[in-house]
C-alpha cells in the first residue's frame, strides 16, 4: 500500500510535533506527514504540493508570512489572521488541488474568521483529538473507496 501524504501547515513547533505524533499514532505507516511553517513557504512550495496530490491538508488559520520583505502586503494582524485561509483558497482555485480535503484548525472561534466559505471543515485546537482523527479517517476512507 502506498502512503498517503498529509500536509500540516502550522507555524508553531509544538503544534506541529503534537499533530505529527497524533497522526503517526493513529495511522502509522499509512500516511506520510509533511510540514509547512509559513504562508510564504506554502506559496513557494505550491507546485510540489500539487504534485504530491495530498490526501488531506490541516491548515492553521493564523500563519506567519516568514519574510515581510517577500509578503504581498505589509505585515499586519489582519494578514496574520487570514494567511491560512489564503492558503486554503489557493488550493480551491487550482484545478490540481481543488478536491484536496482541507481542515482549518485554529484557536479562533469559527464565527470570528472573516471570509470563511460555507461548509468549510473547521476545528478549534482545543477540541478533542478524536474529532480531528474522525475527520481524517472519513477523508482517507472516502479516498480509498473512490480509487
Edge to edge, what strands does the sheet with 4-9 contain? 31-36, 4-9, 56-60, 102-106, 121-124
Whole-model pTM?
Answer: 0.88
CATH number, domain containing residue 42 = 3.40.50.2300
What local confidence, expressed as pLDDT, does residue 75 receive?
Answer: 59
What is the sign of the dihedral through the CA atoms of 110, 34, 83 and 102?
Answer: negative
Average pLDDT across each block of 10 residues of the chain; the chain has 147 residues. List them in order.
Answer: 89 92 93 91 94 95 66 60 87 96 92 84 93 95 71
Domain containing 53: what range? 4-146
Count of the separate structural domains present in the chain = 1
What local confidence, expressed as pLDDT, does residue 69 receive?
Answer: 52
What local confidence, expressed as pLDDT, does residue 64 receive?
Answer: 75
Amino acid at each position: 500500500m502506498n502512503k498517503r501524504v498529509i500536509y500540516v501547515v502550522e507555524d508553531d513547533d509544538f503544534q506541529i510535533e503534537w499533530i505529527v505524533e497524533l497522526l503517526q499514532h493513529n495511522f502509522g505507516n499509512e500516511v506520510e506527514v509533511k510540514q509547512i511553517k509559513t504562508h510564504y513557504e506554502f506559496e513557494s512550495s505550491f507546485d510540489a504540493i500539487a504534485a504530491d496530490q495530498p490526501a488531506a491538508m490541516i491548515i492553521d488559520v493564523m500563519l506567519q508570512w516568514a519574510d515581510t520583505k517577500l509578503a504581498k502586503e505589509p505585515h499586519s494582524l489582519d494578514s496574520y489572521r487570514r494567511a491560512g485561509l489564503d492558503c486554503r483558497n489557493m488550493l480551491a482555485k487550482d484545478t490540481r488541488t481543488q478536491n484536496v480535503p482541507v481542515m482549518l484548525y485554529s484557536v479562533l472561534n469559527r464565527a470570528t474568521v472573516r471570509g470563511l466559505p460555507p461548509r468549510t471543515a473547521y476545528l478549534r485546537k482545543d477540541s478533542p483529538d478524536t474529532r480531528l482523527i474522525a475527520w481524517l479517517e472519513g477523508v482517507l476512507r472516502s479516498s480509498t473507496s473512490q480509487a
